Chains A and B, each alone.
Chain A
Amino acid sequence: MLRPTPRLSSRLNRTEMGWREKIWQINWSLIAILTAISSVGFLTLYSAAKGSLEPWAVKQMIRFAMGIGIMIAVAIVDLRFWMRHAYGLYAISIILLVAVELKGTIGMGAQRWIDLGFIQIQPSEIMKIAMILTLSRYFHGASVQDVGRPTFLIPPLLLVLLPVALVMKQPDLGTAMMVLMSSGAIFFMAGVRLWKFGLLLAAGLGAIPVAWQFLHDYQKKRVIIFMNPDQDPLGAGYHITQSKIALGSGGLFGKGFMNGTQSGLNFLPEKQTDFIFTMYGEEWGLFGGLFLLGLYVLLTAFGYAIALRCRSQFGRLVALGITTTFFLYFFINTAMVMGLVPVVGVPLPLISYGGTAMLSLLFGWGLVMSAYIHRDLPIGRRGGLDD
């Protein structure tokens, strides 16, 4: 009896997986860490509302539940699907960014939101993910030699600069920096030579005086205040000064849950969004801060582990790109509230109150999870469709 040649290994050479099998593959530890971080957020939002689930904590919990659902859905979708539609998503993001530019709702003095009727979306959030997918796809098929050719690097560079320019125009300096930096990380991981980064950096520094001209007044002010926050403690430097007071007064062990005076008495601006870490730090002290930082580092480490275990370059780049974006989120936010970097509108991931960020972050982790589930899936040069 002739039987079909058995496959060498069911694990190594498969191109298809059933959804049941995928669900079995879900990395629950990762979800546990995400849940732990988000729970810190719920508690802090509860405290920020002076011991009430309203108005923030409950909504945040619902969004988290939705986000986890989206994340699992994204994770189960074949990684090749995301690769295949990377450029499309990028194109859509660009269109949305332009749309926002043309007729965006004014929010926080910047055009960032687009109202689709049932949901308000922030195209720049989608762009963060689309950018990672696009670059990962671009570099997926590139050999080490390809990456070494400068001409090969010009298209992705343009792909990066176009949305960055659009986001800057909104103006959203924080997101622009984030896109730029996470893109840089992917370039780096793809094997671009370090001296090329040096060259780019030098060019970038040289462009600073030119870029300064294009900055809005409030952005210039923020940078100046960052340099010397004490000069105007009640004016524009207020945020940083009050944030440092709140954090510092927390001390080693904090003032205790629900006992934050500075945030509780509204000395702290934006305590439920961008400055939530300050509130958390005031109440839980240095140890609380280190605990949260530990969770973030653990999550980052998971992202690295998944990236390193991935067989496909696309999966590796996506996992690392998302992880790096996430890292940049929490680093920039915490460094900002501690007065290490200028105040830019970057939320504390999974903790700051806000729907879009929560959903897009969990969408991103869904992609990382997908890379984990499909870690052994070899993907050909063109997304495995022509293999």
Chain B
Amino acid sequence: MYHDNDRSKLFSRRALLLAGGKGTLISALIARMYYLQVVEADRYAMLSEENRVSMRLLAPPRGLILDRGGIAMAVNQHNYRVLVVSEQAPSLDYTLDALSQIISLGEHDRARITKEARRRRSFVPITVRENLSWEEVARIEVNAPDLPGVLIDVGQSRFYPLESLGAHILGYVSAVSENDQTNNDPLEELPGFRIGKAGVEKIYDMALRGRGGTSQEEVNAVGRVMRELERREGEPGVDLALTLDLRLQEYAAQRLGDESAAVVVMDIHTGEVIVMASTPSFDPNAFNRGLTHEEWKELSTNPRAPLQNKAISGTFAPGSTFKMVVAIAALEAGAISPEQTVLCRGHTELGNIKFHCWKKGGHGSVDLINAMKGSCDVYFYEVARRVGFDKVAEVANRMGLGVPTGIDLPNERSGLMPNRAWKRKALGQPWHPGETLINGIGQGYCLATPLQLAVMTARIANGGRQVVPHVARDLITDKDAVPRPAPNWPSCGVSQRSLTLVRKGMNAVSNEPGGTAYRARIDQEGMWLSGKTGTAQVRRITMRERETGVKKNDELPWKERDHALFVAYAPEDAPRFSIAVVVEHGGGGSAVAAPIARDIMLEVQKRERARVAEMDRKGQG
């Protein structure tokens, strides 16, 4: 034997060394295991949770918008979408070919889909088309066996079934844009989420939205959802009941027809706005769908401003409808007494400037009631001169002019009631005495919105209480709707005597022969209205024109025609509603605006009577 013993010993020694080396390595493994699974365990446990759990927001259904009778004005509609999952389609091209036999599919769409399919994981559904008709859905479902990988999905989208009717009050929803001020609502991050952009959709947006729910989903490494771990349902948006009466709204819109006009009818006691129409209108569904460039151009450049709610954003010289305020201011200041008369010879003079009355021959000698009845400008020039315009403007503010009414709608304009301080500040000029006269008949700097005129009329009719208009029936908080408390409006600080006198004048306008709105009176018992016409001039009539004869409105371009205005309340004996009608460049108040107001007021009261009768019948039954 060769030195096997030596070798054996050497082998044993070295085996021990090698084992020692291995032991060291094993120790290193154990140490590492300890480090990962004990020392760093919490950190890795957290990372592993992040790895597998993904949060998904669930969009709550948006609150409905209803009229005062419960008719839906804004609803959520099922939006049928066709999706394709490329993983389930053996060939995407084949599936799209088959699909294009059934629904129209443009080259552009196809390119987008193939591009998206390449970019996304194969199990992510890709939207092929949205807003499918029911018929299209049915056709796809029937052909489902030939359409591998095709899915029909139901989403929700806002729908305004009445289209343009009441669109200005409703507003519209559309996708969140960068300029929108965000409310830190995570819902805004959702793709395709729509927020209110105008009208009550905007002002009550947070309440209508509701609260988003969350779904915690377990996802695998490629993002596929394996199962839902936890689901927290959100809260659906608050349903919003409006004060509008859709039938009256519809009637009013029809009555205004193609005019560029606005009408507001409100309850003089509660402030509920029953009708608020602005024409022309627009279809809010278009915004949700997405406007084409042409549609947008048409809407935004149309001189009749279909997107503008003229009832609150359109400002007009109130013209003669302002005369009640002037009269009240003078009566309150003691500048006139109702019996005092002023002689109208068709014009008056201040310094060497002539101020004309609308009636060429003049009204003769008129007291307050007759001056209102015939809308005598000379009388009110004199009254305004006596009281001074600063006082008139101050009373006007209390009656609701020159200040925002505070209605729950966005973009309300405050109009303008000028005074000396304002003129010095805004124009840097002193007040001319002549301006007192011009503004005293509601021209000059004076501007008011139709809503302000309706509020002014309401405050005259309700005995001088500062009613504030609103369109949401209930008080809406961010997450709730509670009934409004019984109204307790503060006083305008105007005496009942002045108000009674002014109402008497308005009664004469409508119900006495010779009144400027006598032809637009209501004959029905107990529905009489009292009103005041107004014709606001938008151009200056030159001396030469006066000599050769003032041009008729028909002869002028639309933009230069007078605005026709009319304000009224009804019923005369127990006022309940007030109305303001403004027809932009419509012509004369008595010829154009008053008949519209009469028709609408009649309809409003008939409907109210029917409602009361219905309630009586139910009460007895």
Residues of A within 8 A of B (CB): 143-144, 185, 188-189, 191, 242, 244-252, 261-262, 265-268, 281, 285-286, 289-290, 293, 297, 300, 304, 307-308, 313, 316, 320, 324, 327, 331, 334-335, 338-340, 381
Contacts and interface: CB of A to CB of B under 8 A. Distances in A.
Contacts of A340: 28-29, 32
A300 B18 CA distance: 11
Contacts of B105: none
A250 B37 contact: yes
B615 interface: no
A250 B41 CA distance: 7
Interface of B: 2-4, 6-7, 10-12, 14-15, 17-19, 22, 25-26, 28-30, 32-34, 36-38, 40-41, 43-45, 47-48, 51-52, 218-222, 226
20 contacts: A144-B7, A188-B14, A188-B18, A189-B15, A191-B7, A251-B45, A252-B37, A262-B48, A262-B52, A265-B221, A266-B220, A266-B221, A267-B51, A268-B221, A281-B37, A286-B34, A289-B33, A293-B33, A308-B12, A340-B29
Contacts of B41: 248-252
Given A144-B10, A249-B41, 17 more contacts: A189-B14, A191-B7, A247-B37, A249-B44, A249-B48, A250-B41, A251-B45, A262-B51, A265-B226, A266-B220, A281-B33, A286-B38, A289-B37, A293-B30, A308-B11, A334-B29, A339-B32
Nearest to B44: A248
B26 A293 contact: yes
A183 B532 CA distance: 113
A94 to B, nearest CB: 27
A258 to B, nearest CB: 14
A249 B47 contact: yes
B15 A304 contact: yes
Contacts of A297: 26
Contacts of A191: 7, 10-11, 14
A290 B25 contact: no
Contacts of B45: 248-249, 251
B52 A261 contact: yes
Contacts of B19: 304
Given A189-B18, A248-B44, A249-B44, A313 B221 contact: no
Contacts of B220: 265-267
A308 B15 contact: yes
A289 B18 CA distance: 23
Interface centre among A248, A297, A327, A335 (most CB of B within 10 A): A248
A185 B11 CA distance: 11
A143 B4 CA distance: 8
B51 A244 contact: no
Contacts of B15: 189, 304, 307-308, 320
A316 B219 CA distance: 53
Q: Which 4 A-B pairs have the closest CB atoms?
A: A248-B44, A249-B48, A265-B220, A286-B37
B26 to A, nearest CB: 6
A248 B38 CA distance: 7
Nearest to B219: A265
B22 to A, nearest CB: 6
Contacts of A335: 25, 28-29, 32
A244 B4 CA distance: 48
A249 B26 CA distance: 22
A188 B221 CA distance: 46
